[in-house]
Amino acid sequence: MTNYREIATPSRTKEILEKYGFSFKKSLGQNFLTEPNILRKIAATAELGPEDCVMEVGPGIGALTEHLAQSAGKVLTFEIDQRLIPVLEDTLSPYPNVSVVNEDVLKVDLVAEANQAFGAEHPNVKVVANLPYYITTPIMMHLLMSELTIDTMVVMMQKEVAARMSAEPGTKAYGSLSIAVQYYMEAELAFIVHKTAFVPQPNVDSAIIKLTRRVEPIVNVLNEDFFFELTRSAFTQRRKTLWNNLISHFGKSEQKKEWLTAALEATNIDPKRRGETLSITEFGLLANELFANKSE
């Protein structure tokens, strides 16, 4: 490409922002990466090839998008900020394999959008994105729980949130978010990105997490909604025992206590344990026992 200049260099980023008179909106969590090497590393972590269909959320001025477009077959990216659409039309003009949709990713039909951008017979999708910090978890859960089959996710988020998503039982970071993510995906912290790599500079460092879809969920449950309800209830107050959190959530009547006691005994789980000590498998066993014997 003649006179090719990467979008993500500090000088080109500044030039683009000045050309369009763009001002950052804190409410949209806009932090743009200005380190091309990090973007190359993100794309490499996703192991992209010409057969891959990639979905991105929050492209900004297209810094990561262009690296995805250079490696993948097709790229679909969602940008909520109308002001960035003409910028992206300009910066991504060399890449005919990119589709930009000016929508809130939480409100779109992901399957319909993927079919339109990639074709109805498209293979499974990879998600690669620098997610807005303020809404990382809702976006992640929307993607994971959608009807769209996502093979791999390589996403940047606050380091603390990435630690929670990849946490093991018995650690401070482990909680209902760890379980919700790891139920579907194998989680691995790929690398850390220092806050100085962004404009404007955020207050905390970031991390890249790589999630790979399991062939089957980590545990077979009778009802997924009930399983997630149980895991959330177990962490309502982390300092409380499993028993205290469960009766606070499900009720303190004698009938409820007997129902909970029977399930804990049947699964050999000590009610005095805290939620953070239970593995996902143990939560699955307990959820199944409780659900199978629900009286309502």
DSSP secondary structure, 44-83, as one string: HHTT--TT-EEEEE--TTTHHHHHHHHHSSEEEEE---GG
**Residues 6+ away with beta carbon under 8 Å from 109:** none
CA dist 70 and 49 (Å) reads: 9
Which of 31, 30, 34 lies closest to 10 in space, CA to CA?
Answer: 34
CA dist 139 and 162 (Å) reads: 14
Annotated binding site: 31, 33, 58, 79, 104, 130
Annotated binding site for S-adenosyl-L-methionine: 31, 33, 58, 79, 104, 130
